[in-house]
Structure 1
Amino acid sequence: MPEPFVVRPREGFVRGAQPVAPVAAEAAPRHPVLEPLAEYLDDPDVTDLFVNGADGLFVDRGRGAERAGRWRATERDVRELAVALIGLGGRHIDDAHPAVDVRLEHGMRVHAVLPPVSRGGTVISVRVPRRTRLDLPGLQAAGVVDAGGRVRLEQLIAARENLLITGAAGTGKTTLLSALLSRVPSTERIVTIEDVAELAPDHPHHVALEARQANLEGAGGIGLARLVREALRMRPDRLVVGECRGEEVRELLSALNTGHDGGAGTLHANGLDDVPARLEALGALAGMSDTALARQVASAIGCVIHLHRGRDGVRRVAGAGRPVVREGRLAMEGLPWA
């Protein structure tokens, strides 16, 4: 019976507690701060890790979150782990900044929330990138699209259609967008803009811009809206916003309506029918009326591709639509998907 995995920060936490299982010889070198999670980071099936304070660690291997029974940690341990992980990403988390998102080595994404914002203790969420970058054939093999859907996606990229990829959290929006951008001709320049850089297309001319958190004095922050404006001065052939979540939607729509074809973005939405309401909410943050937003979206976006994660854990393209204006409001018109 293996010993329980216990995080012991006061025995040299920053240097890293020893994992239960030894790190595989072929595993890529990683910072010692990540050693408490090494056993799970080395599992090729793991897509997400969730540390819920002293309540324990949960692991998602594509079948939903499952408790990692050998993990043991106190609230103090988990808080120190959160501070170390966020610091490794070049940002800071403390009582004045209790919720922070960072990108670590190898594309790993970490989000942490401290009490009292998180009532049950420090919460850490880790998105683990796939070791193998999936292209469109790989997505077809994984069941995300069938042969007809793959052909349709390739046609959209070749036609320089402006795309919006939607879905709930964990449905594979970033993975699909990276695969699509990998199909962009090598002669074109891709500029991606993200709050935390995750897009990694297999493309020779990809420029990634990442938002920057303000320093302790509240200065130096650079948000997505400004980065979109900066990207327009970089002569992008494909302008991409990794996730629209605020006022940057105005700059993106303006850009896509002024000759920047072949652009893309992602958006959290539970279904195609929910997309208009989500966009209207973002438009309101940018000071846009529902009518103005509807006209901008209908003119800028050629196709909305919606992803869904089934109970079997498989991500699939659930449908596609085209934004239209009906009675002055944004609506979705379904498109055949095959």
Structure 2
Amino acid sequence: MRLAEDEFAAVVEQVRDRIWRNGSPADPAAVAAAARAEGVVLGAADLVRLLDGVRAATAGAGRLQPLLEAEGTTDVLVNGGGGVWVDDGSGLRPAALVLSGEAEVRALAVRLAAGAGRRLDEASPFVDARLPDGTRMHAVLPPLAPDGTHLSLRVPAVRRFGLPDLLAAGAVPAAWEPVLRAVVERRLSFLVSGGTGSGKTTLLQALLGLAAPGERLVLVEDSGELRPDHPHVVRLEARHGNVEGRGGVGLDALVRQALRMRPDRLVVGECRGVEVRDLLAALNTGHAGAGTVHANTASDVPTRLHALAATAGLAPSAVDAQLLAGVDVVLHVARSRAGRGVVEIAVVAPEGGAARVVPALVRSPDGRLGTGPGLDRLRRRLGTPVPSGVPR
């Protein structure tokens, strides 16, 4: 008789715990012996299920593993109580799977954190880490999360999306392709702005793949997500401190190290703190560069950078001066019901001594393309002749 899902989950936990106590590998013989020792008699089909379940529970993400491995999955989220949500590229939706409750969610989160070399308990009730397979993990425990342990897993992209892929998917309008290529070929410094999950990293990765093969790209990231299709990539990753807060190496320190590594392009995967100061300084000393930043709209980017740079002691006027001198273009991406894609190409321009991001090319929610007051400035930045994709 085939076991029901809740019965099967209980058997997996029993067998897993016995294997751990015995120090045995999760091979077929050990799993079968542990099942017999627990008084469980299984048929051939359930024994195969049990083997897969125990392996997932000891090395993978337990019952979440099939969701993480499903094609197109970008995020798997577990809320307090065991509710599971999945994003497979079309937005979040509830999964058919529901974990058994707080005990299972917490045990899974603690085990995953330990596998990443991190601690998760009452003394350290939240963790942000990268698992051995590249999955990005975040967890937070009660009482910080009153409804129970919350677990967030972001799956690293297996496929490297290039600009042709984004064009085919409609994420980039065909008329804007020459503009994006010209931004890279002219070695303009640019920022990609947008909300969480809007496709910032995907667009940045695709554009970095257009860089000339002879260029050296130095990537600085908190958690390695960028995988540009380029022959010369150097990757630096931040290191979190231990439970005493020691031993951490932040993005700001890595940006300074990257400048000593002869970068042709310096890339910060996500600007979200004091590293903004060092990136802007680098872009004002002859280095071409790029990065992403969270912002609701392209015009919000200066305000967002002001807030981030304030943590490093920079005044808004200093940020504006460096932004005007060091950043040429802002590419804004957004998520809609039709998917994720570029909705604005803008330029950085002065206004009364302050920096302002001015739209040059815009795409409305219904897909219509238009122009903005920054178009002439964009043309001057791109040089002549103007790419045929720029509306006249």
How does the TM-score come out when normalised to structure 2? Answer: 0.78
Aligned to 2:142: 115
**Residues 254, 128 of structure 1: alpha-carbon distance in 2 compared, 3 angstrom cutoff:** same
Q: 1:106 Cα shift? A: 4.3
Larger radius of gyration: 2
Partner of 1:126: 153
Q: Which runs of 4+ in 1 moved over 6 A?
A: 13-19
Mean CA deviation greater in 90-99 or 127-136: 90-99
Q: CA deviation at 1:301?
A: 0.7
3-state SS of paired residue (2:166): helix
Equivalent in the alignment of 1:12:
16
Distance 1:185 1:30 in 2: 44
Deviation, 1:130, is: 3.1
The one-character-per-residue Cα deviations of 1:100-119 (angstroms, maximum 9, x if unpaired) are 22223443211111222222
1:49-96 Cα distance to aligned partner (Å, 9 max, x none): 100121411111223221112322221211121122222223332333
Residues 155-213 of structure 1 show CA distances to partners (whole Å, capped at 9, x for unaligned) of: 11111110100000001111111111111122111111111111111122111111111
Q: Which of 304, 309, 312 is matched with 1:286 structurally? A: 312
Q: Is 1:275 aligned to residue 279 of structure 2?
A: no
- Distance in 1 between residues matched to 2:297 and 2:109, nearest whole Å: 33
* Percent of residue pairs identical: 44
8 Å Cα contact 1:295-1:325 kept in structure 2: no
Q: Give the alignment partner of residue 264 of structure 1, picking from 281, 290, 293.
A: 290
Aligned residue in 2 for 1:233: 260
* Cα distance, 1:12–1:166 mapped onto 2, change above 3 Å: same
Q: How many residues align?
A: 331
**Letter paired with 2:260:** R
Corresponding letter in the other structure for 1:309: R
Distance 2:188 2:311 in 1: 26
Kindly state the Cα deviation for residue 273 of structure 1 after the two structures are TM-superposed. Answer: 2.2
Distance in 1 between residues matched to 2:299 and 2:13, nearest whole Å: 48
Matches of 1:305 and 1:138, distance apart in 2: 18
Match of 1:66 in 2: 93
Give 1:322's aligned residue.
347
Q: Secondary structure at the match of 2:270?
A: coil
Structure 1 residues 31, 254: CA separation in 2 closer, same or farther (over 3 Å shift)?
A: farther
Report what 2:247 is aligned to: 220
Contact 2:82-2:105 at 8 Å conserved across structures: no
Match of 2:198 among 171, 175, 179: 171
Q: Structure 2 counterpart of 1:286, which letter?
A: A
CA distance in structure 2 between the partners assigned to 1:142 and 1:164 by the alignment: 22
Whether contact under 8 Å (1:243, 1:265) holds in the other structure is yes
Cα distance, 1:39 vs. partner?
Answer: 1.6
Letter in 1 for 2:350: V
Q: 2:326 matched to 1:300? A: yes
Structure 2 alignment gaps of length 5 or more: 32-44, 50-55, 363-389
Does the 8 Å CA contact 1:48/1:126 hold for their aligned counterparts? yes
Amino acid aligned to 2:16? G
Change (3 A) 1:299 1:75: same
Q: What is the aligned counterpart of 1:143 among 170, 181, 194? A: 170
Match of 1:153 among 169, 180, 185: 180
Question: Which amino acid is 1:129 matched to?
Answer: P
Q: How far, CA to CA, are the matches of 1:328 and 1:193 in structure 2? A: 31
1:25 is aligned to none
**CA 1:10–1:298 in 2, change beyond 3 Å: closer, same or farther?**
farther
Q: Residues 176 and 246 of structure 1: is their aligned pair in 2 closer, same or farther, counting only changes over 3 Å?
A: same
How far, CA to CA, are the matches of 1:78 and 1:54 in structure 2?
8
TM-score by length of 1: 0.90
2:257 pairs with 1:253: no
Verify the 8 A CA contact 1:4 1:71 in the aligned structure 2. Answer: no
Alignment of 1:38-57 (within 5 A): 38-57=65-84
